[in-house]
Structure 1
Amino acid sequence: MYRLVIAEKPSVAMSIAKVLGATARKEGHMEGGGWLVSWCIGHLAGLAEPAVYNPDYDKWRREDLPILPENWRFTIGKDKREQFDILRTLLRREDVSEVVNACDAGREGELIFRTAYHLAGCTKPMKRLWISSMEDSAIREGFDNLHPGSDYDGLHQAALCRQKADWLVGINATRLFSVLYGRTLNIGRVMSPTLALIAQREAEIAAFEPVPFYTVELACGGMTLTGERISGKEDAAAIAAACEGSTGILQTVERREKSEKAPALYDLTTLQRDANRILGYTAQQTLDYLQALYEKKLCTYPRTDSRFLTDDMESSVPGLVSAAAVICGVDALGTALASHVCSSKNVTDHHAVVPTKSAADSDLAALPQGEREILRLVSLGLLRAVCPPHRYAETSLTAECGGHRFTAKGKAVLDMGWRVYAAPSKDAALPDGLAEGQSLAVDAVQVKEGKTTPPKHFTEDTILQSMETAGAGEMPEDAERKGIGTPATRAAILEKLVATGLVERKKAKKITSLLPTQAGSSLVTVLPEVLQSPLLTADWEQRLEEVERGELSPEDFMAGIAAMVDELVKTYRPVPGAAVLFPSDKEAVGPCPRCGGAVTESKKGFFCENRECRFVLWKDSKFFTAKKKTLTKSVAAALLNKGRVKLTGCFSEKTGKTYDATVVLEDDGTKTNYKLVFGNG
């Protein structure tokens, strides 16, 4: 008898097969040692398109909405049918006694496996491989401690609910708004609130009015003292004049020793943020590089929201730190404070992202640059996290000069601690020997002018932070899942916003910002609150967590989503005059004779872009077909721009001969007609 192992990707399956001794290559799987090892190639099947439920749904019509399937159907991707057939055969083999789910240890991995398992009609016992590293030792340990598949039924239900909820919102809302506004407008359960955040930030920037302010600075014995902000330029000049050639008196001098704890280890989101800020990588690029490193056994599992290791990993930390030091080409700093990075109570499905111990023995130079840079960043994160705090002495002083108050601050490093692996601080120390009551000769005085600055455009770093914390202030204190989306999905959401033309990346001065396009800003303008509220999305994520834990039934979760979609379709009304917000990206053939709007070409005719106008020139008009002429784009352009067009070789049904004439367009506001004019008429 055999046990069948199903991985998410061929590369992962090969690593597992090697460890299990399944070395005989067969069609679509490996075999040996009592094991069969195969793979899924990602999602082999997905939820069916609406037309599968009803052929009429092939056309987008408001009267068909909402589309709420009672019995959900799946379709297998055309390019994945062959591998699914192989898996189905393996799952049904009489000599297979048990199936091991070795897909990625997370929500989507569970969904990928279970969908294939159920579509194949399999009912054989299931076990779950749950590992955070692809190292051989981790795989062996994982197979020595396989979990019952039923332990992850809740995870599968949450994944299925997420998939169905995204389908319901995406299909119904996208069709509704596209039909109402005459342009394909992609709406998503997580995508739309993210778009709203970006559009709101740009609105704040556009509405911002800078306010000038002035500060007086005194140069005194090698340090700079700064006065308070002043709104009036003349007032600042008066203060400067009072201090010119004067002497300042130190009022207070305070020295405090402070410490700064090392940052925690990386989870996916914090790594994506740092990789964007430091390396300029997009969130998706970072995830792709990290996934490749995981499959090459150089990094641990990427899609994690934990920033700690488990308590039982404490003894392995020194070895991981040594590997990280080799990867970064630096010396490890003293004793690794392993207890600082180990906390099982702060670990969810997977621990933080760290390099594997074997990564130090790999040929790092052979890695693609992106993977090498991310591996180095992950390793630096580990080196910092196990270091003692950064300690420094901060001196702050106040001085009086010309009847006004001035301040200065300085820092002196006492112990670099974790900052030995970080960019050096730019703060300078103040001179030694400063004391209260001391006189300070004013060497120079200057008035500096500044302006208040608007909020900054979102970068991938800052939008990820906002997605992670959106709505958190209004969520319950014990809510485990806050913010928009999950660490595993946020990169894909940003990529989809760009791919669908709602957001664009714009680079200026080495910083790439995320900006809403005209279509993106317009869409947010017409979206109801229910589709753009980050609080609602965060609440959905929290409810998915409850489904996973068995605290909320999948039926109740889906009922809430269906009710929201139903209410949206039945109650939403187009924003008056919003047609101007969504200009067509089609080339204008000419002006509409009724409303002056743009007339563009479609498959069946030339339509006014103003959907309330209803003006159209049909391509299959009997007026032209009877004369064996075609209403081409050039003919339509002449009729719209000049009101007439000359046609040669028109066929006469009465005589069977041809003739030349001028066609004149006549439109009374409700009906369109054509008139023939001969000669110079």
Structure 2
Amino acid sequence: MSYRLVVTEKPSVAQSIAKVLKVRNRKEGYLVGNGYFITWCVGHLVGLADAKEYDEKYEKWDLKDLPILPDPWKQAVNSGKLKQFHTVKALMSRLDVDVIICATDAGREGELIFRNVYHYSGCRIPFVRLWISSMEDSAISEGFRNLQPSQNYDALYQSALARSHADWLVGINATRLYTCRYHTLLRIGRVQTPVLAMLTERAEQIEHFQKTPYWNVHLTAEGLTVHREKIQSENEAEELSAKCRNQDLKIVSVEKKQKSTVQPRLYDLTSLQRDANRYFGYTAQQTLDAVQSLYEKKLCTYPRTDSQYLTEDMRDTVQNLIRICAQLGLFPSSTDFVPDIDRCINSKKVSDHHALLPTREIYTTDLSTLPEPETNILLQIAMRLLCSTAPVHMYEETVITAKCAEETFSCKGKTVLSSGWKMIEADFRKKAGKSMKMEEEAEPFSSLPKVSENQVLHNVSPEISRHFTSPPKPYTEDTLLSAMENAGKEDFDKDTEKKGLGTPATRAGIIESLVSSGYVKRKGKSLIPTTEGKNLISIVPVPFKSPSMTADWENALLQIEKRTLSADTFIAGITQMVRDLVTSTPSPTAEQLQLFSSSVKTKDSVGVCPWCGSDVYDGKSSYYCSSRECSFCLWKKNKFLECLKQPMTKKLAQELLKKGRIHSKKLYSQRTGKMFEADLVLTRTVDKEGNPTSSIQLDFGRSVRK
């Protein structure tokens, strides 16, 4: 009997596919039945090897060894995932498997996850691609009926591979270069550092902003108030006020115009994250985690999309979805209009995945069983579908121009004619209730009393108000995501597809990395660069902190994906930049070294570094190795442990450093909502930029107990 092997990215996806394919027998690390093996990768099983795998001398960070330019590139199994890798490799080596189905996430990173394992295993079995935008049973069935040739995604893989190589080259070489030059760990990233530069530039604009006063003069007569704004001199404002006091106000013109506020587009991931930050105060990562969970629960479509449109063949599906969302009873205003689906349809603007949508499962799901963030995000997606197809918001704008003592004043008013899509957003705000962190936006101007042209109003009463120019606002995750998305776009033609800094799938991780590394801190909704972050940007050369340059790189990756640029050409450019960086970076001045000088006070050791044997100290945000040539650290804010409701305490850090693992009986499962026990194992892995990093893995087998 021959089998088909399905390789997914996560166990939960494997379970969903197994249900559709009627594969019921669970084994260690895979499922089998009905002519299928189904296994999973649990993220990146295989990644780029650490520098020391090319030469043992690279284990010690030394300037004379730079640049490190692998040729050929090596890969390695990520520590802590060996067992699952061997399971996948064994299945790929079976003689009774005649075809493999790549069912990892349908995107650049998902393609890389599968192909790294496929190639590292030495597999030669032909494979095809499952490419779907929803985990609904019907979508999975349709996807298996329309499996795609693997060759269709070769360019996507080349783009992903080029991205990983570029991140490794910049991350390894720049981080080692600056760490050795400045004798303290300084992390440089291909995308992370330009984002930090944007935050630093904004902070400097705020810091150096000098506010200047200005004055407004307001005249009130018979219930109407008109204004003269932005007067630069207080004396001028007082003279104008005195000139108009008790005079007549003549209406020169009353202009009325009907205007509209068009419906918002459907959500892509970035716009969803931006609005969730405004509505609920969620970080980009919190929103990504919530929407990814909703996707795996079959409640929304593929989340990491960069499109805000739908394809022509989705018209009937969307019509049905709108009806389902309206029937939920959560958006009563949605029943008052006939949806306009045409404005959401544009097949030319859909590449890999269409815009984010709820699925039909929303109708049969008890939303009260979902965690609050998931409920809020799901309703937000449903609300946007209804808003996007609702009528425009119509209003009448009135502009009154008047004269007093030969001086001109004016005012604006607004009357809503038809609320349109804004009524549905109001329903959403009401439903979200206490979760809503954003106050309802006040109208910029309200209705005015009725007056007519040439009408004269008597006995003017003037008033002066003093104001100051405002500095730029600190970036929030909302505004930073927008800035990342639009970085460098002014350098491209209007019709050119542009990618900005990072991708929808990576931007949340970039922000979290800056925070966890101590270069950025959160203050309310604001993202503020720390002193360490500002100091780092002050010494990094322009090409490695330029948002527009990095946006150029991201667009080059898009060209590789579209087969208009070779990956070799792109990597050659990155390699030359790295060479230039190493040869042209001068030795730091005494003043620059002082920026990164460490405190000389004696510190208590938490334990011994498992990488180099030096002391590990208790820092502000991490437990870090005291050796300036070693990058080992344990972050106190560990997302993986937070999900398990296990804080990274000093005692836990000490035990991990001493034994390498610790048994815990009080770990929380987000899937079941129950506590479980397992070993927490300290492992060494490599991040996306090629830097060695420590991580915590679960082991349900052998454990070391007290």
Q: TM-score range by the shorter chain?
A: 0.7 to 0.9
Report whether the alignment pairs 1:456 with 2:468.
Answer: no
Q: 1:585 to 1:6 in 2, by over 3 A?
A: farther
Q: Give how far 1:585 is off.
A: 5.0
Task: Give the aligned length.
Answer: 590
Give the equivalent residue in structure 1 for 2:170: 169
Q: Identify the match of residue 373 of structure 1 among 353, 362, 376.
A: 376
C-alpha separation between the residues in 2 aligned to 1:168 and 1:234?
62
CA distance 1:571–1:336, shift in 2 (3 Å): same
**Cα distance in 2 between the residues matched to 1:493 and 1:54:** 30
Does the 8 Å contact 2:248/2:460 carry over to 1?
no
Deviation at 1:431, TM superposition (A): 3.7
Distance 1:477 1:382 in 2: 27
Partner of residue 490, structure 1: 507
Q: State whether structure 2 residue 496 is matched by structure 1 residue 479.
A: yes
Task: Please tell me whether residue 503 in structure 1 is matched to residue 520 in structure 2.
Answer: yes
Instruction: Report what 1:629 is aligned to.
Output: none
Matched residue of 1:515: which SS? Answer: strand
Aligned 1:527-538 pairs, distance under 5 A: 527-538=540-551
Helix, strand or coil at the partner of 1:552 = coil
- 1:107 CA drift (Å): 0.3
Could you tell me which runs of 5 or more consecutive residues in structure 2 were left unpaired when the two chains were aligned.
426-439, 604-624, 630-706
Q: Return the letter of the residue paired with 1:554.
A: A
CA distance in 2, matches of 1:383, 1:317: 10
Q: How does 1:626-645 map to 2 (within 5 A)?
A: none
Of 243-252 and 51-60, deviating more is 243-252
* 1:574 Cα deviation after fit: 3.3
For 2:566, give the aligned amino acid: S
1:46-85 to 2 correspondences below 5 Å = 46-85=47-86
Code of the aligned partner of 1:73: K
CA distance 1:84–1:603, change in 2 (3 Å): closer
Change in Cα spacing, 1:223 to 1:271, as seen in structure 2 (3 Å) is farther
Letter in 2 for 1:127: V
Structure 1 residue 481, shift from structure 2 partner? 2.5
Q: Distance in 1 between matches of 2:219 and 2:308?
A: 45
User: 1:578 aligns to what?
Assistant: 592
TM-score by length of 1: 0.84
Q: State the alpha-carbon separation in 2 of the partners of residues 574 and 445 from structure 1.
A: 64
Matches within 5 A, 1:141-540: 141-326=142-327, 329-331=330-332, 332-422=335-425, 423=440, 426-431=443-448, 433-442=450-459, 444-507=461-524, 512-540=525-553
AA aligned to 2:104 is: C
Partner deviation per Cα, 1:574-610 (whole Å, 9 max, x = no partner): 3422112213256369xxxxxxxxxx98799xxxxxx
Instruction: Report which stretch shifted further, 166-175 or 405-414.
Output: 405-414
Question: Aligned partners of 1:603, 1:163: CA distance in 2, in Å?
Answer: 26
Q: Residues of 2 paired with 1:286 and 1:503: CA distance?
A: 19
1:572, distance to aligned residue in structure 2 (A)? 1.1
Unaligned runs of 5+ in 1: 590-599, 605-681
Shift of 1:328: 6.7
Residue 533 of structure 1 aligns to which amino acid in structure 2? S
Bigger relative contact order (CA 8 A; separation at least 6): 2
User: Structure 1 residues 269 and 328, CA, compared in 2 at 3 Å: closer, same or farther?
Assistant: farther
The one-letter code sitting in structure 2 at the alignment partner of 1:146 is: L
Answer yes or no: is the 8 Å Cα contact 1:323–1:355 preserved in 2. no
Q: Distance in 2 between matches of 1:149 and 1:224?
A: 69
Task: State the Cα distance separating 1:359 from its structure 2 match.
Answer: 1.3
CA RMSD of aligned residues (A): 1.8
Q: Secondary structure at the match of 1:417?
A: coil
1:366 is matched by which residue type in structure 2?
T
In 2, distance between residues paired with 1:330 and 1:582? 55
Residue matched to 1:95: 96
8 Å Cα contact 2:51/2:58 also seen in 1: yes
350-359 or 221-230, which deviates more: 221-230
* Aligned 1:23-34 pairs, distance under 5 A: 23-34=24-35
Q: Following the alignment from structure 2 to structure 1, what is the Cα–Cα distance between the partners of residues 120 and 253?
A: 76
The CA deviation string for residues 453-485 of structure 1, in whole angstroms up to 9 with x for no partner, is: 100011101111111111110134443233211
Query: Are the equivalent residues in 2 in contact too, given 1:482–1:542 (CA < 8 A)?
Result: yes
Q: Does 1:555 align with 2:568?
A: yes
Question: Does the CA-based 8 Å contact 1:311-1:344 persist in structure 2?
Answer: yes
Deviations 1:230-258 (A, max 9, x none): 11112111111222222211111100111
Q: Hey, what's the Cα distance between the residues in 2 that align with 1:302 and 1:389?
A: 27
SS at match of 2:230: coil
Post-superposition offset of 1:369: 0.5
Residue deviations 1:154-204, cap 9 Å, x none? 000100110010000000000101111111111000011100000000111
8 A Cα contact 2:104 2:114, kept in partner: yes
Deviations 1:35-79 (A, max 9, x none): 111111010111111111111111111111000000111111222
Q: Which moved more, 1:408-417 or 1:162-171?
A: 408-417
CA distance in 2: counterparts of 1:483 and 1:336, whole angstroms: 33
Q: Which amino acid aligns with 2:116?
A: T
* Counterpart Cα distance in 2 of 1:428 and 1:70: 64
CA–CA separation in structure 1 for the residues paired with 2:493 and 2:125 = 41
**CA offsets 1:258-309 (integer angstroms, 9 cap, x no match):** 1221010011111111111110000011000000000000011110110011
Q: CA deviation at 1:573?
A: 0.8
Contact 2:250–2:454 (CA<8 Å) still a contact in 1?
A: yes
Residues 333 and 387 of structure 1 are in contact (CA less than 8 Å); yes or no, is this contact kept in structure 2? no
Give the partner amino acid of 1:445: P
Question: C-alpha offsets along residues 123-146 of structure 1, whole Å, 9 cap, x if unaligned?
Answer: 111111111110001111111111
Asked whether the equivalents of residues 323 and 358 of structure 1 are also in contact (C-alpha less than 8 Å), the reply is: no
CA distance in 2, matches of 1:137, 1:586: 64
Q: Within 2, Cα distance between the matches of 1:44 and 1:570? A: 35
Q: Which moved more, 1:526-535 or 1:25-34?
A: 25-34
Cα-to-partner distance string for 1:296-342 (whole Å, 9 max, x where unaligned): 00011110110011111111112211333355712333211111111
The one-letter code sitting in structure 2 at the alignment partner of 1:289 is A
Kindly indicate whether the alpha-carbon contact (under 8 Å) linking 1:502 and 1:520 is maintained by their aligned counterparts in 2.
yes
Query: Secondary structure of 1:210's match?
Result: coil
Tell me the distance in 1 between the aligned counterparts of 2:260 and 2:246.
39
Whether contact under 8 Å (2:134, 2:302) holds in the other structure is yes
SS in 2 for 1:397: strand
Q: In structure 2, what is the Cα distance between the partners aligned to 1:491 and 1:32?
A: 38
CA distance in 2, matches of 1:583, 1:259: 57
Whichever residue aligns with residue 333 of structure 1, its letter is D
Segment drifting more, 242-251 vs 38-47: 242-251
User: Per the alignment, do residues 339 and 182 of structure 1 end up closer, same or farther by CA in structure 2, a change over 3 Å counting?
Assistant: same
Query: What SS does structure 2 have at the residue aligned with 1:387?
Result: coil
Q: 2: CA distance between counterparts of 1:253 and 1:275?
A: 40
Q: Secondary structure at the match of 2:81?
A: helix
Larger Rg: 1
For the residues of structure 2 that align with 1:499 and 1:85, how far apart are their CA atoms?
A: 32
Q: Is the 8 A contact 2:489 2:498 kept in 1?
A: no
Q: TM-score, structure 2 length as denominator? A: 0.81
* Deviates most, 427-436 or 87-96: 427-436
Q: What is the deviation of 1:149?
A: 0.8
Judging changes above 3 Å, is the alpha-carbon distance between structure 1 residues 433 and 326 closer, same or farther for their aligned structure 2 residues? same
Deviations 1:392-412 (A, max 9, x none): 111111111123211111111
- For residues 311 and 176 of structure 2, the distance between their equivalents in structure 1, rounded to whole angstroms, comes to 46
